[in-house]
Structure 1
């Protein structure tokens, strides 16, 4: 395609009919298509014929191209433009000779654009598809054109297209221009910088969002940012980018980055440092710039300061500023707020120093270079002080944790710090700790910190300063009463130990004085200016009601010879009036009165305690009170009714509390007392009442046994029959001792009274109930063994047989339905187990004749033999 031929050349004689028709009907699409088909046929015949005329073929291709273009100019449609470009791409190489220069190739492309622009009646140049197709044609020859030409066409396209259509052109340019070998970094920076500004607007105004997200060839914000960093080479470019960077790192645009804000800053910071080291190593302005960026970043990302500091310190080492490097590492390490940051910075600092020291191979250099000695001392100091430095970080995180201060003190002790250093640490701790900010689980540790502080002085024989510290501690605005209690109690303990150590004997004077001071009622409360029940009162205003402090004080004055009996009693009475006395204090008061033989007052305190307390405390007080009454009532010449009243009060209380264990115990003690000192009849009545109050069968049985024994002793054996009857009806047959204690005892009593029939009735009644309600095989065997023994001892053949028939009958009725029998045999009639029936049954034609007198002949029994008859051999030994 030479310049003198033009794009409209190539019409021959065979084309004239088509041309004439087009003059008549230029808008006939079919005519145009027929004309193009005609030219294609000519080209096909020329290329496949025997006379392969290269020049003629070239002219035909040019003519066909011209025809495509004319069709496009006529209709101005994208479809026609695509046909033209598609065919142009096929034949363009035939018009470009190898010797054709870049300028000539670019001129051919410009010629097409010029022709289109000159005849653009339908604004085809405003169509993005038009430009996309044209750009795809141009980039086919990117190796034969200059990037300047491509960019000029690019600018022309952007000027003609709407902003929302620019993205498709940017996609083509950015994808292909990076592959052009002669593009400078400066141009790429400019290109990407303009593109990223365009992207900013897209994201800001939501333009082309779907296309940006879905088109792989369109770089997103993250890729574009990385490319821009890659192409920055000069301070000028960095200045341009820095302004843009600040506008880019905003919530609006950060959402569209795949990297986090931290990662973006890291990359930018790394780029600045790389430029500083590679190109501006000796540039002071650039060094200040790096420093400013470092300060801004660590201020913004406080939790990442260690990583940026380590990167910055390496930069300082690379520009031969080693001292500044270790200085910045050390400074930031001391400012660390987390263990992680401290560890990273500490390891980096010691690593840098170690590397510096290891690099020195000549030992004599240490003598001539004082800096090396400084580095060595710093390195050794860091290693030896690591735990303290780590503790510094923990205190920087929260100085209100006493446990961390205790750790620090322990570290100092392990390092064998002197007393003054340890005292200074304690002092520092109590000054810096804010009481109401101490964590809940550390609050008791705070009071311990004060106590340990005072003990340091005490251990060094300075009781004066020890007392001063403790006195100050009592005025600290504590949040918990327990904290102040610990201070006072430990102060008292120190005074006791000090007096014993210095006097060789127990001197309670100082300790008692301190203890008394701890429970003094504040004047504001005594004068009625403050409500003692106000929940907002300080701990110091409420401490006078401390049970722990009162218990300690009362214990001290009881053992202090300087306090008289009435003074001690007054102190106890004051504690009672303040309603802070507990069960232990009240018992101690009673015992103190007892020791001083004030029995009536002692018992009066117990009685007051019974009214003051409930539950376990009241039970304990009652038990102690009752024991004391039983011990001293005779000596005090008390009336028996007064003792009985105490027992009755106990019964009422335990019934009310449903404390059956202590109720039973009280009944038994009560009955024993009546048996020994009171009325025997009342003793029996008490036990009968106890049986009614017991819900537990075992407890009932136990009291029945006592009642039976006492009744026999008091009234005689005949009086227990009704008791046994009642027990037979009341006690469950399933109780293990029912047969042994109740049935056997009852039978024994009746036999001893000669009531054999009654005894047999008892056994019959018991066996019926046991077989029906007690499924324990051992108990069933036990009742029948007892019954057999009874009949052998007291019965005859008839009664024995009757007992056996009863046994067989009951086994048929109840053993078959017993839960312990196999389900498969539930409907079968049970048979007698001869292994267990050890009485020894024998079949015989006759039994013993109890009516025959000695010497009289026996009559012969002529009745038929009954095969089912049970004869008894009463001489057989029984295994009962």
Structure 2
């Protein structure tokens, strides 16, 4: 049924819509018309069995009878809204107005019901009635308590966004009074509408509110950056009036102060703001201020590039205009003059770039000496500017905080005048420089040396000596500690070895030997002499043939320095003393002094020199006694070499038999590994002397620390020895000793562990399960059947030892089966 029919039938008599089947429900209503339940049952019956008109009729009667019933009105309004939901609100405006009237009628008594308001508002939002809808939203907000407003605002805001324009802005302003946390949505709406000034003010409000938290998770700087980008991008549209406007420049400058890591970007943004407003001169002032105040090279590069691009764009525009005028034959001298001025400005800007960049680095650290030197180099041959730069640098740099060689800056300042031939001003600068409280004594010493070198370059040798003499002035007995930082460098510079070293070289080159000796003596008095000082002084005296005084200098140096420095001094002193061929007794005293407190690490060299002296100028037995002492005095790593040397000398001087006690003591004193080698040499010596039994005894002694599995070379040599010089009994004794030694090492826990580890890490190729003992047994079997073995009692020619033994003694032990 059409919606119009429902409306018409409502005006017809009630009896037309009441049938006999409705009598039961009508009687229930008549008995108690104030109860809702009979009406709901009646409506339910009509919903199942009645027509749309009958349903509407019953609902209408119920709502008129019980106008305060929320349930009945909700059923009726839902029914009417659903009935016309598919109709076009513009075409069937009358039907929609009827439903609107019903909503209005229900709200007379149900104006506190938010659901009714929501249904009404949703219904209105489908109709092209913006003003009525807006006013109804306002009525709903006024009628409902504030706790229910969020339900209305959830509909009102989408309606406002759809309506747009000033209506949307006004609605959002009202919404912001209760929900300021959604300010970002209002700002977005204002920007879309082009209300940039108000958007900026909203930004300022939320930025000044310390309790504001962005629902999009944006930080304070991010919100501030968005505001600045909007202000710069829409600069012409921003109201900057005093009363209602926004002070954009103040906002950006506050950010420059606050956000130090974004200064370059913000300076460019401020300049861009003025460019878009057409204030080119103010933009240029901003660029100039930016490049002369930023603190980092990154910010400077950013601003300078934008500045240069700005100037190029203006010059390009002026050149295009000039080309157009030239094409039309029109002349404009003012425009041409302005173009020339702009070109000059641009060239000047590009020329200033190195200086501006240097300014940035100096602002970062005004105590950077190298940057001041670069600034001097930038001026080239402009003397006035160079002098001014040096003056500014010296006035600015704090000597205690200087980064780089501050004294070199003073020296270069003086050299600048020196190159110009103005030696007087150069000396004045040097006099001031040596009074500067440098952060280290070394710098002050370098400053004095620079002054003396300047005098030397100009061949003023006496002045150079005078300058250095003034530099090293000190009390007769100075107790100043060179490393005492509480004293100024000027109070400590007289103990600078670098200064004295230069002074000595200078005096040595221009003065007499007596003057040089006085300087060296003064160095010793101040106790600042170094080993190099001692050597230089001694060499100087030696060159002038003052040999005894040279030796005394070495002795003074030995009193000053201990080992290991003393070893080098003794080495030189003893070498020179021996070369001078002074008395043997005096040399012996010197060597005894040298070895008296000599650490074992350095003893070997001195003892060898001592022994060599005795061999050449003394007695051989004295030399042997010295070598014997050396074997006790030297370090452990040198002891074996010392014994070998001692043995060699003893053999050459007194013959091989004299080495026996030396070998015996060496074997006792040396560790097992070196003792083994000494035993082999001892045995070889005895063999050469024909003492076979003594050699065999030595092999037996050495066998106790030679495991057959790790010292196969030792046992191989013993076997060869027995083959050449032994008999069957001695060979079997050697094998017995070999087995006992191996058994001894097999019971050594540490050795077993190390051997097990070695076998796990390294197995013979091709036989992973091979056993070391089996290999040794095979070796012994092979050794026992060596061809050509001849005992001490020789047998028949051409027979082997085994055959001879079998023939002479049937009960002899079979050597091949010793290991079975």
| Partner in structure 2 of residue 875 of structure 1 | none
**Conserved 8 A contact 1:69-1:84:** no
Query: How far has the Cα of 1:710 moved from its partner?
Result: 3.9
Aligned mates of 1:843, 1:515 — CA distance in 2:
89
Contact 1:132 1:169 in 2 (8 A): no
Whole-angstrom distance in 1 between the partners of 2:474 and 2:623: 52
Number of aligned positions between the proteins: 768
8 Å contact 1:306–1:341 — kept in the other structure?
A: yes
Do structure 1's residue 73 and structure 2's residue 33 form an aligned pair? no
| Cα offset, 1:298, TM superposition | 4.0
Q: Equivalent of 1:427, from 387, 391, 394?
A: 391
Counterpart of 1:873?
none
Structure 1 partner of 2:777:
830
Q: Which residue number in structure 2 is paired with residue 343 of structure 1?
A: 301
Alpha-carbon distance change, 630 to 258 in structure 1, aligned in 2, over 3 angstroms? same
Q: CA deviation at 1:835?
A: 9.4
The answer to whether residue 568 in structure 2 is matched with residue 620 in structure 1 is yes
Distance change in 2, residues 1:782/1:7 (3 Å)? farther
Does residue 662 of structure 2 align to residue 723 of structure 1?
A: yes
Partners in 2 of 1:462 and 1:830 — Cα distance?
A: 97
Partner of 2:59: 64
The aligned counterpart of 1:538 is 488
- Which is worse superposed, 102-111 or 145-154? 102-111
| CA displacement at 1:173 relative to structure 2 | 0.8
Pairing of 1:861-876 with structure 2 (within 5 A): none
Q: Which of residues 681, 694, 710 in structure 2 aligns to 1:775?
A: 710
Q: 1:460 aligned to 2:420?
A: yes
Instruction: Name the counterpart of 2:683.
Output: 743
Q: Please give the TM-score of this superposition, normalised by the length of structure 2.
A: 0.80
Classify the secondary structure of the residue corresponding to 2:212: helix
Tell me whether 1:36 sits opposite 2:43 in the alignment.
Answer: yes
* SS of corresponding position for 1:178: helix
1:838-849 correspondence to structure 2 within 5 Å: 840-841=787-788, 847-848=794-795
Partners of 1:293 and 1:489 lie apart in 2 by: 56
The 3-state SS of whatever aligns with 1:148 is helix
In structure 2, distance between residues paired with 1:486 and 1:715: 63
Aligned partners of 1:545 and 1:578 also within 8 Å: yes
Distance 1:246 1:147 in 2: 31
Match of 2:314?
Answer: 356
- Which is worse superposed, 370-379 or 827-836? 827-836
Q: Tell whether the 8 Å contact from 1:485 to 1:546 is kept in structure 2 after alignment.
A: yes
- Counterparts of residues 304-315 of structure 1 (less than 5 Å): 304-315=262-273
Say which of 474, 497, 501 aligns to 1:547: 497
Q: Take 2:448 and 2:77, find their aligned partners in 1: how far apart are those partners?
A: 101
Match of 2:169 among 189, 214, 230: 189
> Which aligned pairs between 1:248-397 and structure 2 lie closer than 5 A?
248-254=207-213, 256=215, 258-272=217-231, 277=236, 289-359=247-317, 360-361=319-320, 362=322, 369-397=336-364
**Where do residues 844-863 of structure 1 align in structure 2 (5 Å cutoff)?**
847-848=794-795
Structure 1: unaligned runs, 5 residues or longer? 47-56, 118-124, 204-219, 500-506, 792-798, 851-860, 871-880
Structure 1 distance, partners of 2:13, 2:299, is 78
Residues 59 and 347 (structure 1), Cα distance of their counterparts in 2 relative to 1, 3 Å cut: farther
Shift of 1:20: 5.3
Q: How does 1:514-529 map to 2 (within 5 A)?
A: 514-521=467-474
SS for the counterpart of 1:614 is coil
Cα 1:800/1:461, change in 2 over 3 Å: farther
User: Is 1:583 paired with 2:531?
Assistant: yes
Q: Distance in 1 between matches of 2:60 and 2:518?
A: 127
Consecutive unaligned residues of structure 2, counting only runs of 5 or more, are 747-754, 798-805, 816-820
CA distance in 1, matches of 2:520, 2:225: 74
Q: Which residue number in structure 2 is paired with residue 215 of structure 1?
A: none
Give the structure-1-normalised TM-score.
0.75
SS at match of 1:115: coil
Match of 2:366 among 399, 412, 421: 399
1:703 to 642, 661, 682: 642
Change (3 A) 1:144 1:599: same
CA distance 1:10–1:166, change in 2 (3 Å): farther
- Picking from 187, 203, 224, the partner of 2:186 is 224
Distance in 2 of aligned mates of 1:532 and 1:864: 93
- Structure 1 residue 370: Cα displacement: 1.0
Matched ranges for 1:643-792 at <5 A = 643-655=587-599, 659-660=600-601, 662-678=602-618, 680-696=620-636, 699-712=638-651, 717-731=656-670, 734-735=673-674, 738=678, 741-748=681-688, 750-751=689-690, 755-763=691-699, 765-766=701-702, 768-769=703-704, 772=707, 775-785=710-720, 788=723, 791=725
- Partners of 2:484 and 2:393 lie apart in 1 by 32
- 1:425 to 1:6, Cα distance in 2 relative to 1, 3 A: farther
Residue 512 in structure 1 maps to residue 512 in structure 2: no
**Are the aligned partners of 2:231 and 2:273 in contact in 1 as well (CA < 8 Å)?**
no
After TM superposition, give the deviation of residue 158 of structure 1 in Å. 3.1
Cα deviation code 1:60-87 (max 9, x no counterpart) = 325326636866824x5xx777656544
- 2: CA distance between counterparts of 1:472 and 1:228? 68
Name the CA distance, whole Å, in 1 between partners of 2:57 and 2:229: 57
Counterpart of 1:112 in structure 2 is 106
CA distance in 2, matches of 1:616, 1:427: 50
Cα distance per residue 1:453-492 (max 9 Å; x no partner): 3222233333322222222222223222232232222222
Does structure 2 conserve the Cα–Cα contact (< 8 Å) formed by 1:481 and 1:543?
Answer: yes
State whether residues 663 and 678 of structure 2, in contact with CA within 8 Å, keep that contact through their aligned partners in structure 1.
no
Deviation at 1:538, TM superposition (A): 2.1
Cα displacement string for residues 553-600 of structure 1 (whole angstroms, at most 9, x for unaligned residues): 233233331x552x5444334333433322222333333444455555
Superposition deviation, residue 107 in structure 1: 4.6
Task: Determine the structure 2 residue equivalent to 1:156.
Answer: 139
Structure 2: distance between partners of 1:112 and 1:862 = 146
| TM superposition shift of 1:266 | 4.0
Q: How far apart are residue 549 of structure 1 and its match?
A: 1.4
- Deviations 1:105-148 (CA, angstroms, capped at 9, x unpaired): 6554333222324xxxxxxx2xxxx3255235423332425333
Distance 1:294 1:461 in 2: 54
Q: 1:254 to 1:155 in 2, by over 3 A?
A: same
Shift of 1:372: 1.0
Provide the rounded CA distance (Å) in 2 between the counterparts of 1:730 and 1:380: 88
Q: Distance in 2 between matches of 1:551 and 1:533?
A: 18
Distance in 1, Cα, partners of 2:14 & 2:341: 91
Q: 1:247 and 1:670, CA in 2 relative to 1: closer, same or farther beyond 3 A? A: same
Give me the whole-angstrom Cα distance separating, in 1, the residues matched to 2:274 and 2:214: 34
